[in-house]
Each structure stands twice: as structure tokens, then as C-alpha cells.
């Protein structure tokens, strides 16, 4: 047996627990989706150049592009949320009855 076989066995056993099954089910939504986007949207289906170093360069550039897209989406969503929060500060707040004598504050 190889030195890593014990660790491989533990990892395999973990994937058969309830928590492991739940995590593994999310894999297709996260990890596999990223590889699919690389292939479909960023031209990683085929290597454009020959050689291991140039293929690695293409993979790294593709990953960098995907990371930049994620950062841009996060920043744009944060800007949107900050704009919404600024707008909500200027809206008047009022209360309406929530039933049974309770008062619900609504913005």
C-alpha cells in the first residue's frame, strides 16, 4: 500500500457520511461549474499552444480571468447594496398594526 492510502480511505469513508454526501452534492454547483465555464466561455476546451509550460500559462490566465469576473461581480453587488441602503435611509418609516396589539415597524 502507498503511504497515502490511509488518507484516501478516510476521505472515501467521509463521502459516505450524511454530511459528506451533502457537501459532495454541492460539488456540481461549485467546482464542476467553474470547469464548465472555463471550457465553454473561456476557450479551455483545447490548448492553443504546444508544450506543458504554455498550456499551464493558458490555464493560469483563464483562472485569472474567472477570478477577475468574480471580483467584479462582488464589487458591483456591493455597490448596488450600498446604493440601496443609502436610498432606504431617506425613506420615511411608519408603523402598522401587526395584530393582537403588536406594532410592526416597516421601512
As a whole number of angstroms, the distance between CA 92 and CA 82 comes to 18
User: Contact at 8 Å (CB) between 71 and 78?
Assistant: no
* Chain center to CA of 71: 11
**40-74, pLDDT tens digit by residue?**
888 888 888 899 999 999 999 999 999 898 888 88
**70-91, pLDDT tens digit by residue?**
888 888 887 777 777 776 666 5
| The three grid cell numbers given for residue 33, joined into one nine-digit string | 461549474
More confident residue, 95 or 35: 35
DSSP string of 19-72, one letter each residue: HHHHHHHHHHHHHHHHHHHHHHHSS-SS-SS-SHHHHHHHHHHHHHHHHHHHHH
As a whole number of angstroms, the distance between CA 6 and CA 16 comes to 16
- Looking at residue 106, its pLDDT comes to 47
pTM: 0.55
Amino acid at each position: 500500500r502507498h503511504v497515502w492510502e490511509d488518507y484516501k480511505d478516510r476521505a472515501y469513508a467521509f463521502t459516505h457520511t450524511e454530511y459528506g454526501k451533502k457537501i459532495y452534492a454541492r460539488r456540481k454547483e461549485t467546482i464542476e461549474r467553474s470547469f464548465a465555464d472555463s471550457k465553454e466561455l473561456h476557450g479551455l476546451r483545447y490548448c492553443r499552444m504546444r508544450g506543458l509550460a504554455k498550456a499551464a500559462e493558458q490555464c493560469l490566465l483563464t483562472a485569472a480571468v474567472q477570478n477577475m469576473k468574480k471580483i467584479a461581480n462582488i464589487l458591483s453587488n456591493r455597490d448596488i447594496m450600498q446604493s440601496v441602503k443609502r436610498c432606504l435611509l431617506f425613506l420615511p418609516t411608519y408603523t402598522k398594526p401587526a395584530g393582537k396589539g403588536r406594532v410592526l415597524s416597516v421601512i
